[in-house]
């Protein structure tokens, strides 16, 4: 399976800076076997799209979407609207949205289904908090989050779901999860896929790792069996630095 790295800009870069980022990143040399995507704020999708032109790399992603296609939902953006920008993937259930905006597993599940229906791959983010980890509840938390998220999802089709395992304590902390520990969680997630969809799907769904990944440690994750790439926050903000990270992921 090809490895994938997604840049999560979070709430950085309005249209002007987003356009500049994309133009600068397009000058970076990238490994040909690597898939790369950028999750940009909604207000910057048009600028990012314009700067990408016909280029399909990096693929355009969004950071969130609502579960209805249209209606009286002030402030929300629907998957069908994201489609108009050529968005191919969309994060859902990022821990910052769970923490600051009260997103529940039920909301995450509805968003994932709506995205898939609109032909956009949901990138479902799951992860335990520091408190969960300290009380030994990591696997329990992950099982609940994953099972809920996939309850009404299909594993196949052109909008195949993806996952990002992002331990909350590792995000932006400079304290990444050890690759072996991440791999164990990914293995537990794959068991849930197999149970729900059949053994064929055990290794067919991409699971990325996220949390304090940078150019120095990316290769360790990408080279670990069962880790299909990374979701990168802070280290994606500088286009040249992110180019370096992509090259470090799959050294020539």
List active site positions: 94, 166
Q: Which is nearer to ligand PEP, 127 or 201 (CB)?
A: 127
Tokens of 198: 């059949």
Q: Which is nearer to ligand PEP, 153 or 164 (CB)?
A: 164
Q: Which is nearer to ligand PEP, 87 or 213 (CB)?
A: 213
CB of 231 to ligand PEP, least distance (A): 5
Which runs of consecutive H residues, i.e. helices, occur in the chain?
15-25, 45-52, 79-83, 95-100, 105-117, 130-134, 138-149, 179-197, 218-222, 239-249
Provide the binding-site residues for ligand PEP, judged by CB under 6 A. Answer: 8, 10, 166, 171-172, 210-213, 231-235
CB of 195 to ligand PEP, least distance (A): 27
CB of 171 to ligand PEP, least distance (A): 4
Q: Which is nearer to ligand PEP, 172 or 199 (CB)?
A: 172
Place of tokens 């994606």: 236
CB of 200 to ligand PEP, least distance (A): 29
Please give, one letter per residue, the 3-state secondary structure of 163-219.
Answer: EEECCHHHCCCCCCCCHHHHHHHHHHHHHHHHHHHCHHHCCCCCEEEECCCCCCCHH
Name the residue whose CB lies closest to ligand PEP. 233
CB of 213 to ligand PEP, least distance (A): 5
CB 127 within 8 A of CB 181: no
Q: Which is nearer to ligand PEP, 52 or 235 (CB)?
A: 235
| C-alpha to C-alpha distance for 23 and 12, rounded to whole angstroms | 16
| C-alpha to C-alpha distance for 122 and 152, rounded to whole angstroms | 13
Cα angle value 35/7/2 (rounded, 5°):
20
Q: Which is nearer to ligand PEP, 226 or 234 (CB)?
A: 234
CB of 232 to ligand PEP, least distance (A): 5
Place of tokens 């600051």: 100
Long-range contacts of 65-68 (CB under 8 A, 24+ apart): 65/90, 65/92, 65/111, 65/114, 65/115, 65/120, 66/111, 66/114, 67/107, 67/110, 67/111, 67/113, 67/114, 68/114
């Amino acid at each position: 399976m090809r490895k994938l790295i997604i840049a999560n800009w979070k709430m950085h870069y309005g249209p002007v800076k987003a356009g500049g980022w994309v133009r600068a990143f397009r000058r970076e040399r990238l490994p040909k076997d690597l898939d790369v995507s950028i999750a940009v704020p909604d207000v910057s999708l048009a600028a990012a799209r314009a700067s990408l032109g016909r280029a399909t790399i990096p693929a355009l992603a969004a950071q969130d979407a609502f579960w209805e296609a249209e209606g009286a939902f002030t402030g929300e953006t629907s998957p069908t609207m994201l489609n108009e920008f050529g968005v191919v993937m969309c994060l859902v259930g990022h821990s910052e949205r769970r923490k600051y905006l009260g997103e529940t597993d039920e909301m995450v599940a509805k968003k994932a289904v709506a995205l898939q229906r609109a032909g956009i791959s949901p990138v479902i983010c799951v992860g335990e908090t520091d408190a969960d980890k300290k009380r030994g509840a990591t696997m329990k938390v992950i099982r609940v989050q994953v099972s809920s998220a996939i309850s009404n999802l299909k594993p196949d089709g052109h909008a195949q779901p993806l996952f990002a395992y992002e331990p909350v304590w590792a995000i932006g902390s400079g304290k990444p999860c050890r690759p072996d520990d991440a791999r164990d969680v990914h293995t537990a997630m794959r068991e849930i896929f197999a149970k729900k969809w059949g053994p064929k799907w055990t290794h067919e769904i991409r699971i990325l790792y996220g949390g304090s990944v940078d150019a120095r440690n990316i290769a360790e994750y990408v080279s670990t069996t069962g880790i299909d790439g990374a979701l990168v926050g802070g280290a994606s903000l500088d286009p040249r630095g992110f180019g370096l990270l992509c090259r470090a992921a799959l050294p020539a």
